[in-house]
Amino acid sequence: MLSITRERDKVNMYLLYRLKNLYHFKSADARSSGEAEMSVTAGTRIYLSIIAVLLLVIVAMAYKFIIAGSTEKAADGRVAIILEPGEKALMLREMRGFLSGLQGVMDALSREDMQAVAKASRALGAARAGGVPAEMLGKLPLEFKTLAFTVHREFDTIASDAERAGNARHALNQVSEVLQKCVACHGSYQVRTPAEK
């Protein structure tokens, strides 16, 4: 019986030894698995942080180039749009062209020549807005761009209505509404170069 007990003790000791080794391996595996999970988690956090920073940069750039533009508060209370000298010259040339085109619309209206009204109005329409360089568009605040594109679209509407309906009084009312936007824009904005600050 002593030998059976000894054999059983040997077997138990052997099993205990094997369990202990197995536990050590599992603990080591668990530790390296935990370290691996930790490094995967840390890596994921780093990647997510980088993505978040990049998204913030994109949002900031979108805000700057789509919404805010290159502006500052002017001494007279208007918003000063800061453009390079060539960009300012382009904008002023476009404004003079717009004023000249508007005079053509008004002259045609005074003669009730609706075909001439349509032609002059179409020249001031949305097709004219396509010539502005993208870099300059990025410097214009969203409200300014919205007003400008609305005015161009309204001149397309004036042209279409003049061709279709031929009603001078209606066209005159439309031009009056456009001019209200022009007055609002000039009352809200001015254009300066960096040197004129």
Q: What is the pLDDT along the chain (197 residues), one digit of tens a residue?
A: 455 556 666 666 665 565 555 445 444 444 455 554 556 577 677 877 888 888 887 777 766 666 667 889 999 999 999 999 999 999 999 999 999 999 999 999 999 999 999 999 999 998 887 778 888 888 899 999 999 999 999 999 999 999 999 999 999 999 999 999 999 999 999 999 999 86
What six digits make up the tokens of 169? Answer: 């009084």
Whether the Cβ atoms of residue 162 and residue 171 lie closer than 8 Å to each other: yes
Compute φ and ψ for 130, nearest 5 degrees: -70, -10
- 104 with 59, same domain? no
- 153 with 168, same domain? yes
**What is the side-by-side strand order in the sheet with 189-192?**
71-73, 79-82, 189-192
- To 5 degrees, how large is the angle CA 195–CA 196–CA 197? 95
d(CA 197, CA 194) in angstroms, rounded, equals 6
Last residue of one domain, picked from the residues 33, 68, 103: 68
Record the pTM. Answer: 0.66
Q: Which residue has the tokens 């409200």?
A: 143
